[in-house]
Structure formats: C-alpha cells, structure tokens
Structure 1
Amino acid sequence: MASIVENQASPVTRIAPPNDDIRATVDQTEKMVARAPLIILAVLVGLPVVASLISLHIGSAIFGGVIMFIIAGFAIKLVNALIITPLKTARYKRAASTLAGQVQSVSEPVSFWRSWWSGAPGALAVTKLGHVVIVDRSTNYAQLWLGKSQIVNVSVEREATQVTNTKHGGRMTFGGVSNGLFGGYAMGGRSKSVTQTLETAFLEIRYQLEPNGYVSTVVIPYGSDRRAADELCAVVTRIEHTA
C-alpha cells in the first residue's frame, strides 16, 4: 500500500512511490514513436544507399536513395496509421483509466474529477475540502495535493487551425475543331474554397510547491469542448479550503 509522505516545507502531500509502471509505459511509448521512423528510414534508405556506395555505384546510390526515401515516407505513414497510433492510444487510454480510479478513491470526498490520454495520460480531482489532486507527466506520475495558495494561475488556452478545401470546376466548350469540336474539359473554370476553423481548447494550471519556488504546469486537453474547460477553470479559480 502506498505510504503518504508529508513535505514540511510546503503544504503539498505526495503519495509514494509514484506510478512507476505508468511512467515506464509513457517513456517506452515516446521512444517507440520517435524511433520507428528512423528505423524505417535506416532499413529502406540507409542500407541500399550504403550498399551502392560500397559497390562504387554513385548514380545508383543517389537515384535509388531518392526513390526509397519516397517509399519510406509512405511506409512511415502506413506504420503510424496501422500500428503506432493505435498502440499508443490503447496504452494511454489504459493508463488514464488507472489514474482516474486513483483520483476518485483519494482519502477525501471528491466533487469533480477528470482524466485524459491525449498527449500523455493524466488525471485530476477536486475534493470537497478544497484540494486539487493532480497526477500526470508534470508530477512525474506521483500524486500531488495542492491547496489554493499553491495554485499560481488557471487559464483556458486555445489553438485554432484553419483548413481550406478547394473545389475546382471546369467549363465545357463548343465550337470549331480548334476550339473543341466535341466539347472538352478546360482548366481554369470556377473554383470554390471553403475554410473551416478547427479550435482545440486546453486548460493550464500553474502551481508552485513552495514560496519562491519553481512553477510547474499541468495541461488538460479538452478538444473542441471549450465550455467544459471554462467550467473547470472557474471551479479551480474559486476553490476554497473548508477543513
């Protein structure tokens, strides 16, 4: 059973040991995501190019390297779509579910909780006695209990991405032989562009464990649900210690 360790220099409570298994899962997954493209490039591009250079086939090395680089690009996208992304999502969702169970079963009654897996897994709870419980990457997956005095700033940020889809329409032409006897499709007709703005919201909670100490930040993704992010922002901003 995890022991509770009190830090006398600040009112924060740590539960030790941290989630070593979840931290290891996140570290391993991030390494897998970073190394997979490099391995594919090394196998599909590096080995053939090196083999051609050893054989002194410089032209083949250059031409083959370009062709294999293009093929490797498609291979990387395919591996990411079919293997890397599904595996990462499954691992992070499982970790987020574990963390959600932890923050819901803390020693104080919980009035609100949330877990997330996008980016990296994490969880947060607000207790009825006025503590914010955080366990995520910023806490190295140890559980932190924060009081109102330790919360430096709470804000809702957003990222807006504009996506433009353009549809081109040709025009049919009729006339003599030189202008298209049977009619033809001519480029340069009308085009219609539709731009959509995709907004992603996330909540940032900055906290300080001791006076004049380092400020850390927990980032909670909310996707397109800006209202939910605003609501949690208001909850944490107005939190009061009632014990």
Structure 2
Amino acid sequence: MNTITESEQSNVERIAPPNVDIRATVDQMEKIAQYTPLAILALLVGFPVISGILHGSIGGALFIGFIMFIVAGFVIKIVNAVVIGPMQTVRYKRAATTLAGQVQALPTPTSLWRSWWTGAPGALAITRDGHVVIVDRSTDYSQLWLGQGQIVNVSVEREATQITNTKHGGRFTFGGASSGGLFGGYTTGGRSKSTTTTVETAFLEIRYQLERNGSVYTSVIPFSADRRGADELCAAITRIEHGN
C-alpha cells in the first residue's frame, strides 16, 4: 500500500498526527491472522512429518502428514472463530469508537459522519465548509482533510455471494418389516431440496489525490447490506460545495 509522503502532506490543508496506537493494533492483528495458521501447520503437520522421516518411514510420514493436515484445517477454523475473530472484533470496534469521537470533535462543524470497523477501523466526516475528513488505513491513521479538487472519484461497489442450503428428506418403507418380510415391502427414495440465497454487500470507494499529477489513494468504506446508505454518502461527497 502506498504511503503519503511529506511533500504530499504539505498540499493538504490540515493533517493531524497519526493514531499510533490504532495503527499498531491493526498491524498486530494482521500479523496474528497471517502467522497463526502457519504456526498451527508447523506444529501439527511439520513436526510429525519430520519425525517420521527421521525414523526412516517416509510413507508413514506422508500418511500422518495428510491426516494431520486435515486436522490442522479444523483447528485453524476453530481458532479463527473462537479466538482471533472475537479479539479482532473487540479491538477494531474500540478503535472505531475512538476515531468516531475524533471526527465528531473537529474544529469545523460537520454535516455528517460515519465510522466502521469491518476489515479495518476507520472514520469519515464531511464538514460544512466542504472538506472530506478521512482517517483510516489508507491515510496511515492520520486525520486527512481533502478539498473538492483532491477527490478523483467516488463510487459504490458491491459483491454478491450465493449461499446454498440443501435439505435431504428421509426414506420411507411401506409393507413388511423388511424387504424379505411376509408382505414384501417398497422403499421410497429420499428427496433433496436446495435453496440458494444471494447476499449482497456494498462498499464505497473514495479515490483521492494529494498533489497534482501525484499518486492516487483509495479509501474503502464498508456498508454491509446497506446499499442505500452507500449511495447516499456517495451522492453527498459528489455534491460537495465549498462554503464562502
């Protein structure tokens, strides 16, 4: 990800010091999410395989490695669901609350604001004098004030995920107690019914440029299923007018 240079910072009307603690929290959680699965694989798969090879049983080592690889997959899912996921949610929500307080306490009155924690924490506000204030991962958690001319593009994107649930019906036997019973019997086949649900998630992309002909940066604001909210914020930023 590009980082904002000092020359670019000088072209921004205001830029507050970075939120060092929040930036460190995000970096730490990303490293935990990246290295924890590798550590589990090394512990559950690597050690048994190496041990088997050292004992001269290559075939046995490969078999154990395959079994433990499957086990490790389940362990990784459990650790993500029970430990890493909840820890990230708590820490990111706390960070988002802090950032929300910052954009609500700007020296210039704001017309609207929003904070989020999904993916990574962040916050945004639109001031009444026509600035968009962003503080998120794209700004390295500095409070960035953008003028109308620095916003390159604002768009609403969406992702659609299809979730299929399949229900299997039972099998029924009519007639005797068994197929070889006195009265014979007939067994019906079970029926399966699949239902597919499409889940859409929306997010707003703000592309901005800090200096003329300079690098373009992107801030991504998640809206989950609130497509209308994303459209409304997109329209508000697009229609920004500077106050007198």
| TM-score normalized by the length of structure 1 | 0.90
Contact kept in structure 1, 2:113 and 2:123, CA below 8 Å? yes
Is the 8 Å Cα contact of residues 15 and 145 (structure 2) preserved in structure 1? yes
CA 1:8–1:101: 2 relative to 1, 3 Å: closer
Shift in Å at residue 233 of structure 1?
Answer: 0.7
Once the 2 structures are TM-superposed, how far is the Cα of residue 164 of structure 1 from its aligned partner? 1.4
The 8 Å contact of residues 204 and 223 in structure 2, kept in 1 or not, is answered as yes
CA apart distance, 1:108: 0.3
Q: Which residue number corresponds to residue 135 of structure 1?
A: 135
CA RMSD of aligned residues (A): 2.2
Any unmatched runs of 5+ in structure 2? 1-5
Residue 173 of structure 1 and its aligned partner are, at CA, apart by: 4.5
Alpha-carbon deviations, 1:119-153, whole Å to 9, x = none? 00100001111110000010011111011111111
For the 8 Å contact 1:7–1:13, the answer to whether it is kept is no
User: 2:39 matched to 1:45?
Assistant: no
Q: Which runs of 5+ in 1 are unaligned?
A: none
In the alignment, residue 192 of structure 1 is paired with which amino acid?
K
Contact 1:15 1:144 survives alignment (8 Å): yes
> Which amino acid is 2:218 matched to?
T
Q: What TM-score, normalized to structure 2? A: 0.90
- Percent identity among equivalent residues? 65
User: Matched residue pairs, number?
Assistant: 237
- Which secondary structure does the structure 2 equivalent of 1:78 belong to? helix
SS of alignment partner, residue 193 of structure 1:
strand
Comparing 115-124 with 65-74, greater Cα deviation is found at 65-74
Name 1:224's counterpart in structure 2: 225
Give the 3-state SS of the residue equivalent to 1:220 in structure 2: strand
Whether the 8 Å contact between 2:179 and 2:185 is mirrored in structure 1 is no
Structure 1 position 60, deviation (Å): 2.0
Q: Deviations for 1:32-88, whole angstroms, at most 9, x for unmatched residues?
A: 001111101111111111111111122221111111111111111111111000011
Partner of 2:109: 109
Following the alignment from structure 2 to structure 1, what is the Cα–Cα distance between the partners of residues 46 and 119? 31
CA contact 2:9–2:15 (8 Å) conserved in 1: no
Q: Relative to structure 1, is the Cα distance of residues 67 and 11 closer, same or farther in structure 2, using a 3 angstrom cutoff?
A: closer
